[in-house]
Chain A
Amino acid sequence: MSKIVLKIDHLRRSFGDKEVIKDFDLEVYEGEFLTLLGSSGCGKTTILRAIAGLDSVTEGHIYIDGKDVTSLDPKFREVNTIFQNYALFPLMTVEENIAFGLKMKKVDQQEIKKRVQEMLTLVHLEGYEKRKPRELSGGEQQRVSIARALINNPKVLLLDEPLSALDQKLRTKMQLELKGLQRKLGITFVYVTHSQDEALTMSDRIVLLKDGKIEQADTPIKIYEHPNSLYTAQFLGDSNLFQGVVTKVDVKYAWVKLEDAMFKVFSNQLQVDMPVDVIIRPENIKLSLKKKSDSVFEGKIVDSIYDGASTQLIIRTGQREIRAMLFGNDKEYVKGQEIFVTWDIEDVILFKRDTDEK
């Protein structure tokens, strides 16, 4: 693996009595797109601000490029931040905003002009030099703030929910643009978001946070397909949760019993009477009109939500609702139909339930 450009070592941060970050460790590699993902209040922004130096830390150390910057003023840190509301300087033109960082470093005027032009080209804002931030759309303001940060050649670019103020269409577009920029420039991105979509589409690695601790850190594919906790499984992507008990175990398989159904799973390390949580992703749900040997549930389609590329079906069986995702416009299933539900054994995501929970 390549060089470590950012290292966070046993970081703790308390606000009053409340410990927001609890013993947080992280290593970020050069050129990596790393996402800190979590619901609001999980401490992801606090970590970002600690890296930037905008907030102090209670305990622990932060290293940028091997240098301990824990108590260094933000102005000396070789990182730059993209703020949620862009934080463009309202009285300065686009050009002056972008040039700000270099001006502070007393870079030669001619050089500044050249670099500003390069940045404007990079973010497709040629000809916008003399405009004021208030004359720009949200997406354009966003691009100015990216240019303003990138012109300083930061070792790490920190992005604090940069797309949350944009509308859905623009957000998708900016996701691709940001990812493209990151690949092109090879700059390390540390990206904070609460949106699993953004995290999954853009990241090389996702760090899922829960209550100031790392729940799981992995590639998008691993974290989605092999979550190591129920929390991770439910946070990323939609899921159907079945809570049951293991009733039978043999060499290869085990059987999980629910109130109204029974199904087979791989038996690794399961024991009889063990309570388990089983997650099945909606896209892995298989439907059939006729009962098959491996059918688990029999239910009725109560709702069908067409979404262009996919259709989501809500299937009611007993007290339970199961969500299934069909790709393409599959006319075979309609609302009101009786239907049989199953899935491949490989698509089962299973967790042993701690008995003290709930």
Chain B
Amino acid sequence: MKNKKLWKYFFIIPVIIYVILLIALPLIYILIISFFQSDYYGGMISTFTLQNYIDIFDQVYINVFLKSIFVAGVTTLICILISYPFVLAISHKKPATQKILMTLVMVPFLTNSLIRMYGWLVLLRKSGVINQVLLGVGVIQEPLSLMYNMFGILIGMVYTLLPFMVLPLYSSVSTVDPQLLEAANDLGASKIKTFFKIILPQTLPGLFNGSLMVFTPALGYFFIVDILGGGKIMILGNLIKNQFLTARNWPFGAAISIVLVLITSLVIFAYRKLGGKMEDLGGA
């Protein structure tokens, strides 16, 4: 008995070391230096100050927060609107077809996302493929501004994060008994009513899980904003990156990071309060 228990711990040890070394310790470090003071030369003075947190309430930074939440929110919404019909459509297909289609969703992951962003440049820029085709066909006279603006950022975000919505939604939708949909139809419900009364409530955990997995990284994916936003738009990710790497104000960057972690935690907390189960989050 005792031996068996020891063995169990033995296999958990790598995970524990991983979590402590790469997640817990850096987070504690960030928390600590967020109360330090920057010495304006890239170094830090180890005191205790709340100044970094107070600075965040500057209108400039509040706007960055709001814009980030807007970008992440719209990205999540678009991902939901694309994923639900897709997932519902493939859930009626044969199991083999479902597997192939889901694999196709995963294929982009095989390429580095930074490289894929440069791929979008080729498509979206003024002299890019899309504009060339539209000009050639005569649909437009002037090339469209498809990037270096909010539109470009949203395309990049949705494109990169879509699989994180599709996967949890798919696993959630595939647990809905098809007979329930037939029963609803039999009892007089239209397709739309069936969706809102039967499918949506049952797939809410998957929807929330997916939203969390899209919303959270969307707040911080600075490289998408850098490449497709052309440096004109700033979200939290860029702000933090700039504080650490450009302005070299580590304490302030740390403070913003902590606020970001708090926002995410708050969302999860709200989910639990609303009756969601944490197992459902990990379930996908």
Chain A nearest CB from B16 CB (Å) reads: 36
Contact A75 B190 (CB under 8 A): yes
Q: Which residue in B177, B180, B186 is a CB contact (below 8 Å) of A80?
A: B186
Q: How long is the Cα–Cα vector from A149 to B182 in the complex, in angstroms? A: 13
B119 at the interface (CB under 8 A from A): no
Q: Is the CB of B183 within 8 A of A83?
A: yes
| CB closest chain-A residue, reference B181 | A87
A155 to chain B, nearest CB (A): 13
Q: How many residues of B contact A (CB 8 A)?
A: 17
A18 on interface, CB distance cutoff 8 Å = no
- Check if A54 sits within 8 Å of B188, measured CB to CB: no
Cα(A74)–Cα(B189), bound, Å: 9
Q: Which of B182, B183, B193, B201 has the most CB of A within 10 A?
A: B183
Please determine whether B185 and A101 come into contact, CB atoms closer than 8 angstroms.
no
Cβ-closest chain B residue relative to A52: B186
In the complex, what distance in Å separates the CA atom of A101 from the CA atom of B182?
A: 13
Say yes or no: A75-B182 contact (C-beta < 8 A), given A87-B177, A89-B198: no
* Any A CB within 8 A of the CB of B187: yes
Q: Is there a chain A Cβ closer than 8 Å to B242's Cβ?
A: no
From residue B198, how far is it (CB to closest CB) to chain A in Å?
6
- B171 to chain A: which residues have CB within 8 Å? none
The answer to whether B189 touches A75, judged by C-beta atoms less than 8 angstroms apart, is yes
Question: Provided the pairs A83-B179, A87-B177 are in contact, do residues A152 and B187 lie with their beta carbons within 8 angstroms?
Answer: yes
Summarize B's interface: helix, strand, loop or mixed: helix
Question: Given A89-B198, A91-B202, A152-B188, A104 and B183 touching (CB < 8 A)?
Answer: no
A81 is an interface residue with CB less than 8 A from chain B: yes
How many A-B pairs have beta carbons closer than 8 Å: the answer is 55
Indicate if the CB atoms of A89 and B188 lie closer than 8 Å: no
- Count residues of chain A with CB under 8 A from any CB of chain B: 22
Please, which residue of chain B has its CB at the minimum distance from the CB of A104?
A: B188
Q: Does B184 contact A (CB under 8 A)?
A: yes
Residue of A nearest to B179 (CB): A87
A75–B188 contact, CB under 8 A? yes
Taking CB atoms and an 8 Å cut-off, the chain B residues in 163-207 that contact chain A are: 177, 179-180, 182-190, 193, 197-198, 201-202
Alpha-carbon distance between A301 and B85 when the two chains are bound, in angstroms: 67
Structural contact, B182 and A87, CB atoms closer than 8 A: yes
A308 within 8 A of B: no
Contact with B along A57-70 (1 / 0, CB 8 A): 00000000000000
In the assembled complex, the Cα of A100 lies from the Cα of B196 at a distance in Å of 13
**In the complex, A300 has a CB within 8 A of chain B:** no
Residues of B within 8 A of A89 (CB): 180, 183-184, 197-198
CB of A54 within 8 A of CB of B187, answer: no
A54 and B189 in contact (CB under 8 A), knowing A89-B198, A91-B201?
A: no
> Across the interface, which residues of B come within 8 angstroms of A85, CB to CB?
177, 179
Closest to B201 in A: A91
10 smallest beta-carbon distances between A and B, as pairs: A104-B188, A87-B183, A101-B187, A87-B179, A75-B188, A74-B185, A81-B186, A104-B189, A91-B201, A74-B186
15 A-B residue pairs with Cβ-Cβ distance under 8 Å, sorted by A, are A54-B182, A54-B186, A74-B185, A76-B188, A81-B182, A85-B179, A87-B179, A87-B183, A89-B183, A89-B197, A90-B202, A100-B187, A101-B187, A104-B187, A152-B187
